[in-house]
Amino acid sequence: MSVEVRTVPADLPEVDVLLDAYLDEREATFPSAQGAYSRKRTPAAEFTPPNGVFAVAYDGGTAVGCGGLRRIPDGVDATGADDVRFEVKHVFVTPGGRGTGIASALMDLLEREGAALGATSIVLDTNDSLVAAGAMYRGRGYERVAAFNDNPNATAWYRKPTTR
């Protein structure tokens, strides 16, 4: 597998295919004890520089993964300093590409782009039922924080300071 990860416009046809697959899978596997899955796609315009980017991983020209980064309102970090936050959204790898490092490659690019756009931290939310995703985020240095949004699908919120 020779994967290339690059930023792309978030309104490309392959992005629609990947995001539909992502939402279909999340809806089908969402823990029933948590209620119904809220199927919501972030508008493509939010992934446009300087307020964000969207990335797709290609294997031989076939789109096999994606993820986006968008600016959200600033917060305050643990020291009380202003925190310029960018949020990771919709990280997804097709079943055939899982376990091959594609998600990490997507996160590498999104974190670099966030720092280049002026982020002091990268934040994200996820659901604890996504065990592999949570482990990946923690392994990348993300620390669990208080909820910073009202996403009804999320049970865990994370933050990582950027490195410049």
pTM: 0.94
Tell me what pLDDT residue 75 has. 87
Mean pLDDT, the chain, whole residue set: 95
Q: For each of the domains in the chain, give its residue range(s) and CATH number, in order of start.
A: 3-161 (3.40.630.30)
Average pLDDT over residues 80-87: 93
Q: To the nearest whole percent, how much of the chain has pLDDT over 90?
A: 90
Cα distances (angstroms) measured from residue 26 to each of 29, 44, 68, 164: 5, 19, 17, 33
Q: Does the structure show a pLDDT above 80 at 164?
A: no
C-alpha 69: how far from its chain's center?
A: 6
In whole angstroms, what is the distance from residue 1 CA to residue 45 CA?
A: 31
Note the pLDDT tens digit of each residue in 40-77: 899 999 999 999 999 999 999 999 999 999 999 998 88
Tell me the mean pLDDT in the region 103-120. Answer: 97
